[in-house]
Amino acid sequence: MERPRAHRGMIACDLDGTLLRSDGTLSSRTVASITAVQLAGWVFTMVTGRPARRVVHVAADAGLSGTALCSNGAVVFDLRSRTMVDGHPIEPAVAATLITDLRQAIDGVYFAFELGLQFGREGTYPRWINPLHAEAPVDERVADALELVASPVHKLIVAHPELDFDRLLNAVTAITGERAEVTHSARDFVEISARGIDKASGVRLLAERLGFEARDVVAIGDMPNDLPMLAWAGRAVAVANAHPDVIQVADRIVAANDDDGVADLLDGLV
- Which pLDDT does position 241 carry in this prediction? 98
What whole-number distance in Å separates Cα of residue 223 and Cα of residue 147?
A: 31
- Which pLDDT does position 130 carry in this prediction? 45
- Which pLDDT does position 3 carry in this prediction? 44
- Which pLDDT does position 2 carry in this prediction? 40
Q: Of how many residues is the chain composed?
A: 270
Ordered domains of the chain (ranges, CATH)? 9-87+198-269 (3.40.50.1000), 92-194 (3.30.1240.10)
Tens of pLDDT along the chain (270 residues) come to: 344 445 689 999 999 999 999 999 999 999 999 999 999 999 999 999 999 988 988 998 888 988 999 999 999 999 999 999 999 999 999 999 999 999 999 999 999 999 878 889 998 887 654 444 445 445 788 999 999 999 899 999 999 999 999 999 999 999 999 999 999 998 889 999 999 999 999 999 999 999 999 999 999 999 999 999 999 999 999 999 999 999 999 999 999 999 999 999 999 998
- Which pLDDT does position 4 carry in this prediction? 43
Q: Chain centroid to CA 265: how far?
A: 20
Nearest to 218 by CA among 170, 171, 254, 260: 254
- Which pLDDT does position 57 carry in this prediction? 87
- Which pLDDT does position 7 carry in this prediction? 67
What whole-number distance in Å separates Cα of residue 31 and Cα of residue 37?
A: 10
The beta strands (E) that lie in the chain are given as 9-13, 42-46, 67-70, 75-78, 83-87, 110-115, 118-121, 140-142, 155-159, 180-183, 190-194, 217-221, 235-239, 252-254
Cα angle at 173 between 136 and 11, to 5 degrees? 60
Q: Whole-model pTM?
A: 0.90
Q: Is the distance from CB of 99 to CB of 107 less than 8 angstroms?
A: no
- Which pLDDT does position 224 carry in this prediction? 96
